[in-house]
Structure 1
Protein backbone atom coordinates (compact mmCIF):
# COMPACT_ATOMS: atom_id res chain seq x y z
CA UNK A 1 0.00 0.00 0.00
CA UNK A 2 1.27 3.47 -0.88
CA UNK A 3 1.44 5.52 2.31
CA UNK A 4 1.48 9.30 2.73
CA UNK A 5 4.87 10.93 3.31
CA UNK A 6 5.19 12.93 6.52
CA UNK A 7 5.88 16.60 5.72
CA UNK A 8 8.52 18.81 7.30
CA UNK A 9 7.34 20.13 10.65
CA UNK A 10 5.67 16.91 11.81
CA UNK A 11 7.08 15.93 15.23
CA UNK A 12 7.75 12.28 14.24
CA UNK A 13 10.60 13.51 12.02
CA UNK A 14 12.44 14.76 15.12
CA UNK A 15 12.11 11.61 17.24
CA UNK A 16 14.99 9.27 17.93
CA UNK A 17 13.35 6.04 16.85
CA UNK A 18 13.03 2.84 18.86
CA UNK A 19 14.55 -0.56 18.10
CA UNK A 20 12.02 -3.27 17.32
CA UNK A 21 11.98 -7.04 17.71
CA UNK A 22 10.95 -9.66 15.19
CA UNK A 23 7.44 -9.74 16.71
CA UNK A 24 6.76 -6.15 15.61
CA UNK A 25 3.17 -6.18 14.28
CA UNK A 26 2.92 -6.75 10.52
CA UNK A 27 6.63 -6.11 9.95
CA UNK A 28 6.65 -7.82 6.57
CA UNK A 29 3.73 -5.68 5.40
CA UNK A 30 5.38 -2.51 6.73
CA UNK A 31 8.56 -3.23 4.77
CA UNK A 32 6.55 -4.03 1.61
CA UNK A 33 4.59 -0.78 2.04
CA UNK A 34 7.85 1.15 2.49
CA UNK A 35 9.22 -0.27 -0.78
CA UNK A 36 5.99 0.49 -2.62
CA UNK A 37 5.82 4.02 -1.23
CA UNK A 38 9.48 4.71 -2.02
CA UNK A 39 9.14 3.54 -5.62
CA UNK A 40 5.85 5.45 -6.08
CA UNK A 41 7.53 8.69 -4.96
CA UNK A 42 10.61 8.03 -7.12
CA UNK A 43 12.81 7.98 -4.01
CA UNK A 44 16.02 6.03 -3.48
CA UNK A 45 15.43 5.55 0.24
CA UNK A 46 12.73 5.94 2.84
CA UNK A 47 12.77 5.69 6.62
CA UNK A 48 9.91 4.62 8.88
CA UNK A 49 9.45 8.09 10.46
CA UNK A 50 8.68 9.42 6.98
CA UNK A 51 5.55 7.24 7.00
CA UNK A 52 4.74 8.17 10.62
CA UNK A 53 6.31 5.14 12.33
CA UNK A 54 8.92 6.05 15.00
CA UNK A 55 10.88 2.80 14.60
CA UNK A 56 14.42 2.07 13.39
CA UNK A 57 13.73 0.80 9.87
CA UNK A 58 14.79 2.19 6.53
CA UNK A 59 15.11 0.83 3.00
CA UNK A 60 17.33 1.94 0.13
CA UNK A 61 17.66 1.12 -3.55
CA UNK A 62 20.43 2.96 -5.41
CA UNK A 63 19.86 1.23 -8.78
CA UNK A 64 18.31 4.29 -10.45
CA UNK A 65 21.17 6.53 -9.31
CA UNK A 66 23.97 4.18 -10.39
CA UNK A 67 22.30 3.26 -13.69
CA UNK A 68 21.81 6.99 -14.36
CA UNK A 69 25.49 7.84 -13.95
CA UNK A 70 26.96 9.99 -16.71
CA UNK A 71 30.58 9.57 -17.80
CA UNK A 72 31.85 11.98 -15.13
CA UNK A 73 30.02 10.08 -12.37
CA UNK A 74 31.45 6.79 -13.64
CA UNK A 75 34.95 8.23 -13.37
CA UNK A 76 34.30 9.68 -9.91
CA UNK A 77 32.61 6.52 -8.54
CA UNK A 78 34.15 3.70 -10.62
CA UNK A 79 33.47 0.99 -8.03
CA UNK A 80 29.89 2.03 -7.23
CA UNK A 81 27.51 -0.92 -7.32
CA UNK A 82 23.75 -0.57 -6.87
CA UNK A 83 22.49 -1.69 -3.47
CA UNK A 84 18.96 -2.66 -2.45
CA UNK A 85 18.66 -3.38 1.28
CA UNK A 86 16.47 -3.28 4.36
CA UNK A 87 18.04 -1.91 7.56
CA UNK A 88 16.40 -2.74 10.89
CA UNK A 89 17.70 -1.42 14.24
CA UNK A 90 20.68 0.18 12.51
CA UNK A 91 23.35 1.80 14.66
CA UNK A 92 26.52 3.52 13.51
CA UNK A 93 29.75 1.72 14.41
CA UNK A 94 32.06 4.28 12.78
CA UNK A 95 32.35 7.00 10.17
CA UNK A 96 35.49 7.94 8.32
CA UNK A 97 37.08 8.81 5.04
CA UNK A 98 37.32 12.22 3.47
CA UNK A 99 34.32 14.52 4.00
CA UNK A 100 32.58 15.49 0.76
CA UNK A 101 29.63 17.57 -0.37
CA UNK A 102 26.71 16.29 -2.42
CA UNK A 103 23.39 17.84 -3.37
CA UNK A 104 20.67 16.14 -1.30
CA UNK A 105 16.90 16.27 -1.28
CA UNK A 106 14.22 14.58 0.81
CA UNK A 107 10.68 13.31 0.23
CA UNK A 108 9.61 15.02 3.48
CA UNK A 109 11.11 18.34 2.33
CA UNK A 110 10.02 18.46 -1.33
CA UNK A 111 11.42 21.02 -3.79
CA UNK A 112 14.42 21.76 -1.55
CA UNK A 113 17.89 20.55 -2.51
CA UNK A 114 21.14 21.65 -0.89
CA UNK A 115 24.78 20.59 -0.73
CA UNK A 116 25.47 18.62 2.44
CA UNK A 117 28.92 17.64 3.70
CA UNK A 118 29.15 14.10 5.10
CA UNK A 119 31.95 11.63 5.86
CA UNK A 120 33.22 9.48 3.02
CA UNK A 121 32.09 6.21 4.59
CA UNK A 122 29.92 4.75 7.31
CA UNK A 123 29.99 1.39 9.09
CA UNK A 124 26.63 0.18 10.38
CA UNK A 125 25.53 -2.72 12.51
CA UNK A 126 21.97 -3.67 11.62
CA UNK A 127 19.52 -6.51 11.15
CA UNK A 128 18.36 -7.49 7.68
CA UNK A 129 14.71 -8.32 6.91
CA UNK A 130 15.31 -11.87 8.24
CA UNK A 131 16.66 -10.46 11.53
CA UNK A 132 20.18 -11.66 10.76
CA UNK A 133 22.77 -9.32 12.24
CA UNK A 134 25.04 -7.60 9.72
CA UNK A 135 27.96 -5.20 9.95
CA UNK A 136 29.03 -3.47 6.75
CA UNK A 137 30.91 -0.41 5.58
CA UNK A 138 29.39 1.69 2.82
CA UNK A 139 30.91 4.54 0.82
CA UNK A 140 30.23 6.60 -2.29
CA UNK A 141 26.66 7.38 -3.29
CA UNK A 142 25.33 4.33 -1.44
CA UNK A 143 27.03 5.46 1.77
CA UNK A 144 25.52 8.91 1.27
CA UNK A 145 21.98 7.55 0.85
CA UNK A 146 22.41 5.34 3.92
CA UNK A 147 23.66 8.24 6.07
CA UNK A 148 20.70 10.36 4.94
CA UNK A 149 18.17 7.64 5.83
CA UNK A 150 20.00 6.79 9.04
CA UNK A 151 19.66 10.43 10.10
CA UNK A 152 15.87 10.04 9.84
CA UNK A 153 15.83 7.31 12.50
CA UNK A 154 17.98 9.61 14.69
CA UNK A 155 15.52 12.50 14.35
CA UNK A 156 17.78 14.52 12.03
CA UNK A 157 17.14 16.07 8.63
CA UNK A 158 19.60 17.03 5.90
CA UNK A 159 18.81 20.72 6.46
CA UNK A 160 20.30 20.41 9.96
CA UNK A 161 23.73 20.38 8.30
CA UNK A 162 23.23 23.73 6.60
CA UNK A 163 24.76 27.01 7.73
CA UNK A 164 22.44 29.30 9.76
CA UNK A 165 22.20 31.84 6.91
CA UNK A 166 21.16 29.13 4.43
CA UNK A 167 18.50 27.90 6.90
CA UNK A 168 17.12 31.43 7.26
CA UNK A 169 16.89 31.72 3.48
CA UNK A 170 14.88 28.46 3.40
CA UNK A 171 12.51 29.45 6.22
CA UNK A 172 9.59 30.48 3.98
CA UNK A 173 9.90 27.35 1.80
CA UNK A 174 9.93 25.14 4.91
CA UNK A 175 6.86 26.91 6.32
CA UNK A 176 5.06 26.40 3.00
CA UNK A 177 5.90 22.68 3.08
CA UNK A 178 4.54 22.31 6.62
CA UNK A 179 1.31 24.07 5.52
CA UNK A 180 0.87 21.88 2.44
CA UNK A 181 1.52 24.75 0.01
CA UNK A 182 3.93 22.73 -2.12
CA UNK A 183 2.69 20.63 -5.00
CA UNK A 184 4.01 17.06 -5.18
CA UNK A 185 2.98 13.88 -7.01
CA UNK A 186 2.37 11.96 -3.78
CA UNK A 187 0.22 12.29 -0.68
CA UNK A 188 1.70 14.27 2.20
CA UNK A 189 0.81 14.04 5.88
CA UNK A 190 0.96 17.55 7.31
CA UNK A 191 1.91 18.45 10.90
CA UNK A 192 -1.05 18.77 13.22
Structure 2
Protein backbone atom coordinates (compact mmCIF):
# COMPACT_ATOMS: atom_id res chain seq x y z
CA UNK A 1 0.00 0.00 0.00
CA UNK A 2 2.04 2.99 1.22
CA UNK A 3 5.74 2.75 1.93
CA UNK A 4 7.60 4.82 4.52
CA UNK A 5 9.01 7.26 1.96
CA UNK A 6 5.50 8.12 0.73
CA UNK A 7 4.36 8.61 4.32
CA UNK A 8 7.21 11.01 4.95
CA UNK A 9 6.20 13.03 1.92
CA UNK A 10 2.64 13.32 3.20
CA UNK A 11 3.19 13.60 6.94
CA UNK A 12 5.96 15.66 8.45
CA UNK A 13 6.57 16.58 12.07
CA UNK A 14 6.21 20.24 11.11
CA UNK A 15 2.73 19.65 9.69
CA UNK A 16 1.54 17.79 12.79
CA UNK A 17 2.91 20.61 15.00
CA UNK A 18 1.22 23.20 12.81
CA UNK A 19 -2.14 21.47 13.23
CA UNK A 20 -1.50 20.65 16.90
CA UNK A 21 -2.39 17.00 16.38
CA UNK A 22 -0.69 13.76 17.23
CA UNK A 23 1.02 12.13 14.27
CA UNK A 24 -1.23 9.06 14.09
CA UNK A 25 -4.41 11.18 14.14
CA UNK A 26 -3.01 13.56 11.53
CA UNK A 27 -1.83 10.71 9.30
CA UNK A 28 -5.29 9.19 9.48
CA UNK A 29 -6.83 12.54 8.53
CA UNK A 30 -4.53 12.90 5.50
CA UNK A 31 -5.27 9.40 4.21
CA UNK A 32 -9.01 9.87 4.76
CA UNK A 33 -8.82 13.20 2.92
CA UNK A 34 -6.90 11.70 -0.01
CA UNK A 35 -9.22 8.70 -0.27
CA UNK A 36 -12.26 11.01 -0.17
CA UNK A 37 -11.04 13.62 -2.65
CA UNK A 38 -8.74 11.69 -5.01
CA UNK A 39 -8.62 7.89 -4.95
CA UNK A 40 -10.93 6.08 -4.82
CA UNK A 41 -13.02 9.18 -4.10
CA UNK A 42 -14.22 12.10 -6.23
CA UNK A 43 -11.40 12.21 -8.80
CA UNK A 44 -11.51 8.47 -9.48
CA UNK A 45 -15.31 8.47 -9.46
CA UNK A 46 -15.59 11.18 -12.12
CA UNK A 47 -12.89 9.54 -14.26
CA UNK A 48 -14.71 6.18 -14.09
CA UNK A 49 -17.89 7.38 -15.80
CA UNK A 50 -18.41 5.33 -18.95
CA UNK A 51 -21.60 6.87 -20.28
CA UNK A 52 -21.28 9.69 -22.80
CA UNK A 53 -24.60 11.24 -21.79
CA UNK A 54 -23.52 11.49 -18.15
CA UNK A 55 -20.14 12.96 -19.08
CA UNK A 56 -21.72 15.57 -21.33
CA UNK A 57 -24.32 16.58 -18.75
CA UNK A 58 -22.34 16.02 -15.55
CA UNK A 59 -23.06 19.47 -14.07
CA UNK A 60 -26.78 18.94 -14.60
CA UNK A 61 -26.88 15.32 -13.36
CA UNK A 62 -24.53 15.55 -10.38
CA UNK A 63 -26.31 14.86 -7.14
CA UNK A 64 -24.52 15.63 -3.86
CA UNK A 65 -25.92 12.41 -2.36
CA UNK A 66 -24.23 10.34 -5.07
CA UNK A 67 -21.10 12.46 -5.20
CA UNK A 68 -20.38 12.78 -1.47
CA UNK A 69 -21.87 9.41 -0.57
CA UNK A 70 -19.36 7.62 -2.77
CA UNK A 71 -16.47 9.65 -1.36
CA UNK A 72 -17.46 8.81 2.22
CA UNK A 73 -17.91 5.17 1.24
CA UNK A 74 -14.46 5.18 -0.37
CA UNK A 75 -12.93 6.27 2.95
CA UNK A 76 -14.13 2.97 4.39
CA UNK A 77 -11.73 1.09 2.16
CA UNK A 78 -8.99 2.40 4.44
CA UNK A 79 -10.68 0.68 7.38
CA UNK A 80 -9.52 -2.58 5.85
CA UNK A 81 -5.95 -1.26 5.58
CA UNK A 82 -5.39 -0.48 9.25
CA UNK A 83 -6.84 3.00 9.80
CA UNK A 84 -10.10 1.68 11.24
CA UNK A 85 -10.34 3.40 14.62
CA UNK A 86 -9.56 6.91 13.43
CA UNK A 87 -11.80 6.60 10.37
CA UNK A 88 -14.69 5.36 12.46
CA UNK A 89 -14.28 8.43 14.67
CA UNK A 90 -14.13 10.62 11.56
CA UNK A 91 -17.40 9.17 10.29
CA UNK A 92 -19.04 9.44 13.68
CA UNK A 93 -18.26 13.15 13.49
CA UNK A 94 -20.31 13.29 10.27
CA UNK A 95 -23.18 11.24 11.67
CA UNK A 96 -23.46 12.71 15.17
CA UNK A 97 -24.61 16.22 14.11
CA UNK A 98 -27.26 14.67 11.85
CA UNK A 99 -28.49 12.43 14.67
CA UNK A 100 -28.62 15.27 17.18
CA UNK A 101 -30.33 17.55 14.66
CA UNK A 102 -33.09 15.04 13.88
CA UNK A 103 -33.55 14.16 17.54
CA UNK A 104 -34.01 17.85 18.33
CA UNK A 105 -36.48 18.33 15.45
CA UNK A 106 -38.52 15.26 16.31
CA UNK A 107 -38.40 15.24 20.12
CA UNK A 108 -37.12 18.59 21.34
CA UNK A 109 -33.97 19.99 22.93
CA UNK A 110 -34.17 17.96 26.16
CA UNK A 111 -34.25 14.74 24.19
CA UNK A 112 -31.33 15.94 22.06
CA UNK A 113 -29.34 16.67 25.25
CA UNK A 114 -30.03 13.12 26.49
CA UNK A 115 -28.83 11.76 23.15
CA UNK A 116 -25.62 13.81 23.43
CA UNK A 117 -24.98 12.39 26.90
CA UNK A 118 -25.65 8.86 25.65
CA UNK A 119 -23.36 9.22 22.61
CA UNK A 120 -20.45 10.61 24.57
CA UNK A 121 -20.72 8.45 27.68
CA UNK A 122 -18.72 5.73 25.92
CA UNK A 123 -16.11 7.92 24.23
CA UNK A 124 -14.35 10.62 26.23
CA UNK A 125 -12.10 11.54 23.27
CA UNK A 126 -15.12 12.44 21.12
CA UNK A 127 -16.74 14.35 23.96
CA UNK A 128 -13.61 16.43 24.62
CA UNK A 129 -13.31 17.31 20.93
CA UNK A 130 -17.01 18.13 20.72
CA UNK A 131 -16.71 20.51 23.70
CA UNK A 132 -13.42 22.04 22.54
CA UNK A 133 -14.74 22.80 19.05
CA UNK A 134 -18.34 23.54 20.10
CA UNK A 135 -19.58 20.71 17.89
CA UNK A 136 -18.30 18.94 14.80
CA UNK A 137 -19.46 21.45 12.24
CA UNK A 138 -22.62 21.67 10.21
CA UNK A 139 -25.10 18.90 9.60
CA UNK A 140 -23.72 16.79 6.76
CA UNK A 141 -26.94 15.13 5.68
CA UNK A 142 -25.92 14.45 2.05
CA UNK A 143 -22.77 12.68 3.26
CA UNK A 144 -24.74 10.48 5.63
CA UNK A 145 -27.61 9.66 3.26
CA UNK A 146 -25.19 8.99 0.39
CA UNK A 147 -23.01 6.74 2.52
CA UNK A 148 -26.06 4.79 3.72
CA UNK A 149 -27.33 4.40 0.14
CA UNK A 150 -23.99 3.16 -1.20
CA UNK A 151 -23.56 0.78 1.73
CA UNK A 152 -27.06 -0.60 1.24
CA UNK A 153 -26.64 -1.10 -2.49
CA UNK A 154 -23.16 -2.61 -2.44
CA UNK A 155 -23.88 -4.95 0.47
CA UNK A 156 -27.40 -6.08 -0.32
CA UNK A 157 -27.45 -6.52 -4.08
CA UNK A 158 -24.99 -9.02 -5.50
CA UNK A 159 -25.44 -7.89 -9.11
CA UNK A 160 -23.48 -4.69 -8.51
CA UNK A 161 -19.75 -4.49 -8.62
CA UNK A 162 -17.78 -1.37 -7.78
CA UNK A 163 -16.78 -0.70 -11.38
CA UNK A 164 -20.40 -0.79 -12.55
CA UNK A 165 -21.47 1.54 -9.73
CA UNK A 166 -18.63 3.98 -10.49
CA UNK A 167 -19.40 3.94 -14.20
CA UNK A 168 -22.86 5.39 -13.46
CA UNK A 169 -21.28 8.53 -12.03
CA UNK A 170 -22.45 10.72 -9.15
CA UNK A 171 -26.15 9.94 -9.46
CA UNK A 172 -28.37 9.10 -6.50
CA UNK A 173 -27.47 5.48 -5.67
CA UNK A 174 -31.08 4.49 -4.94
CA UNK A 175 -31.79 4.99 -8.68
CA UNK A 176 -29.18 2.43 -9.78
CA UNK A 177 -31.71 -0.45 -9.91
CA UNK A 178 -33.90 1.50 -12.31
CA UNK A 179 -30.94 2.55 -14.46
CA UNK A 180 -29.64 -0.99 -14.77
CA UNK A 181 -33.12 -2.26 -15.60
CA UNK A 182 -33.43 0.36 -18.36
CA UNK A 183 -30.06 -0.69 -19.81
CA UNK A 184 -31.25 -4.29 -20.13
CA UNK A 185 -34.18 -3.32 -22.38
Scaled by the length of structure 2, the TM-score of the pair is 0.31
Larger radius of gyration: 2
Q: Indicate the structure with greater strand content.
A: 1
Hey, which of these two has a bigger chunk of helix by percent?
A: 2
- TM-score, length of structure 1 as denominator length: 0.30
